[in-house]
């Protein structure tokens, strides 16, 4: 049984406020991802959970027990450091075996061997076991760091961008292995990443952190489909979401419409008038590039625009469409568009998000939860 609970935790480094009162709960045996841009306070949070950084304010509980003052060696955690923190004088094998030999684990020769080999195999570093860290490439070091944490089989596994230096293939493999490992050993995992895909693919809960403040906590589906605010919406999804400043107006259309300043962009308002916060008329309309349909057929309904630029991205192209003063990104599989070609853009009402122009808050957030996220 291992839960981790943070209650209004703060971390100051002198004048720098790295973490400004965050609270979340990580349930037993779940993978919780802390997602945030560079400098958000992810590493600081993780180090506080590990007991490596003092807590400026607030409380951290592990298994219901207050651990603010428990030294790291008394907690049953394992951690992968962003900078690896390998033992320079030990071979890869001994690095991985190190926690196993410590008093808290104290395995004997053969079982150490078995565990090290198992982990090495999983991380594909078998042939490197005899080398010293100085003789490894960046990605290899990172895998050793991961191996060291995994070999220990701690109750709580803290991972700080553990696979950022691996290639896509290996990363994919690692993600799977990690999930298998976590399920087999019933470990609680807190996973720090700046990669939303990783968070979506791995975690059951995502905590979105920025500038030391939590913007949203939720399941991957919720975070993706119902971002709490524009920050979360832009952080997640690539190419990033289109945000168009609009006014909500009562037009001739059957329902309210969101219309941009120059009138070039107009979409139906996904909220009925009575659900709009009173007085709120200035909004940001958010539409993910995938949800914009591009058609060369100018007779179709939709927003008129012209192709501005088109970027080839393997299978898909990212096409930027100029609509009035706005550039909208569209993800499409068609590569045939010419620059300056006139097109129409279509969008389903269900794919339209609405954010408060002032606060950035999502105005739709009382909608039903969307259950469509995957395995």
Partner 1 sequence: MKSREQRWQDRYLPYLIILPALVLTIGILYPFILAIIYSLTDYRLVSPVRHFIGLANYLDSFRDINFWYSLGVTLLYAALTISIEVPLGLGVAMLLNHEIRGIRSFRFILIIPLMMPPVIAALMWKMIMAENGVMNYFIGLIGAAPVPWLANTYSLLSIVLIDVWLYTPFCAIILLAGLQSLPKEPYESAMVDRASGFFVFRRLTLPMLKPFLILAILFRTIDSLKMFDLVYATTKGSHSTMLMQVSAYYEAFRWYNMGKSLSYMIVIWVVIFIISRMLVSWWNRAMQRATGTER
Partner 2 sequence: MKQAQQYSSKRQILIWLALAGYAVFALFPLIWVVMMSFKSHIDIISPIPKFIFTPSLDNYKAILFGGQSTQYEVGQTDFLLYFKNSCIITISAVLLSLLAGVPAAYALARYRFRFKDDIAFTFLSFRFAPEIAVIIPIYILYQKLHLYNTYVGLIFVYQLITLPLIVWIIRGYFEDISVEIEQAAKLDGYSWWGVFTKIALPLVKPGLASTAVLAFIFAWNNFIFGLILGSSDTYPSTVGTLGFISYESVLWGQMAAATVITILPPLILAVFIQKYLVRGLTMGAIRG
Interface with a second copy includes 143 (CB under 8 A)? yes
Is 286 within 8 Å of 355 (Cβ atoms)? yes
Interface with ligand ATP includes 42 (CB under 6 A)? yes
Closest CA to 142 of 184, 195, 199, 92: 92
Q: Which residues of 17-54 are buried (b: 16+ CB within 10 A; e: fewer)?
A: bbbbbbebebeebbbbbbbbeeebbbbbbbbbbbbbbe
Choices 129-137, 178-186, 241-249, 299-307 (CB under 8 A): range interacting with partner 1: 129-137
Within 87-106, the residues that bind partner 2 by CB under 8 A are 87-89, 98-99, 102-105
Binding partner of 43, given partner 1, partner 2, Mg ion, none, CB within 5-8 angstroms per partner class = Mg ion
- Strand 31-35 and strand 342-346: the pairing is unpaired
Nearer to a second copy, 1 or 134 (CB): 134
Is 146 within 8 Å of 165 (Cβ atoms)? no
- In the list 27, 57, 85, 280, the residue contacting partner 1 (rule: CB under 8 A) is 85
Q: Which residues of 71-104 are buried (b: 16+ CB within 10 A; e: fewer)?
A: eeeebebbbbbbebebeeeebbbbbbbbbbeeee
Give the CA distances from residue 66 to residues 7, 9, 138, in Å, rounded to whole numbers and listed in that order: 10, 13, 37
- Residue 69 tokens read as 């003052």
Mask: binding to partner 2, 232-271, rule CB under 8 A, as x and -?
----------------------------------------
Interface with partner 1 includes 98 (CB under 8 A)? yes
Query: Across the chain, which distance is largest between two alpha carbons, in Å?
Result: 79
Binding partner of 11, given a second copy, partner 1, Mg ion, none, CB within 5-8 angstroms per partner class = none
Nearer to a second copy, 113 or 177 (CB): 177
Per CB under 8 A, residues contacting a second copy are 13, 16, 36-40, 42-44, 82-83, 135-140, 142-143, 160-161, 164-170, 172, 194-197, 200-201, 220-221, 224, 234-240, 288, 290-291, 309-317, 331, 333, 335, 372-375
Per CB under 8 A, residues contacting partner 1 are 47, 50-52, 65-79, 81, 83-90, 98-99, 101-105, 132-135, 148, 152, 158
């Amino acid at each position: 049984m291992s839960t981790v609970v943070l209650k209004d935790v703060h971390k100051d480094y002198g004048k720098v406020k790295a973490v400004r009162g965050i609270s979340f709960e990580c349930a037993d045996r779940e993978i919780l991802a802390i997602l945030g841009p560079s400098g958000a306070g992810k590493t600081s949070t993780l180090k506080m959970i590990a007991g490596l950084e003092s807590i400026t304010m607030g409380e951290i509980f592990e298994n219901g027990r207050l651990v603010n003052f428990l030294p790291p060696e008394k907690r049953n955690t394992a951690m992968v450091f962003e900078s690896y923190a390998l033992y320079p004088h030990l071979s890869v094998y001994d690095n991985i075996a190190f926690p196993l030999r410590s008093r808290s684990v104290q395995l004997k020769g053969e079982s150490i061997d078995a565990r090290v080999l198992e982990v090495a195999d999983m991380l594909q570093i078998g042939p490197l076991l005899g080398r010293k860290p100085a003789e490894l490439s960046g990605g290899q070091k990172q895998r050793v760091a991961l191996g060291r944490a995994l070999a220990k089989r701690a109750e709580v596994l803290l991972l700080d961008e553990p696979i950022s230096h691996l290639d896509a293939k290996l990363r994919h493999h690692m993600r799977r292995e990690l999930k298998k490992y976590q399920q087999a050993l019933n470990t609680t995992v807190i996973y720090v990443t700046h990669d939303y895909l990783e968070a979506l693919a791995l975690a059951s809960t995502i905590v979105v952190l920025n500038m030391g403040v939590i913007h949203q906590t939720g399941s991957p589906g919720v975070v993706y489909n119902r971002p709490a605010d524009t920050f979360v919406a832009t952080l997640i999804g690539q190419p990033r979401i289109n945000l168009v400043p609009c006014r909500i107006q009562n037009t001739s259309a059957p329902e309210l419409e969101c219309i941009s300043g120059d009138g070039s962009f107009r979409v139906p308002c996904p909220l009925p008038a009575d659900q709009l916060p009173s007085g709120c008329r200035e909004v940001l309309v958010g539409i993910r590039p995938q949800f914009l349909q591009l058609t060369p057929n100018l007779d179709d309904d939709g927003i008129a625009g012209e192709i501005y630029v088109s970027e080839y991205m393997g299978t898909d192209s990212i096409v930027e469409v100029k609509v009035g003063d706005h550039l909208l990104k569209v993800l499409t599989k068609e590569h045939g568009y010419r620059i300056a070609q006139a097109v129409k853009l279509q969008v389903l009402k269900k794919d339209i998000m609405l954010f408060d122009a002032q606060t950035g808050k999502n105005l739709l957030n009382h909608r039903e939860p969307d259950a469509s996220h995957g395995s």
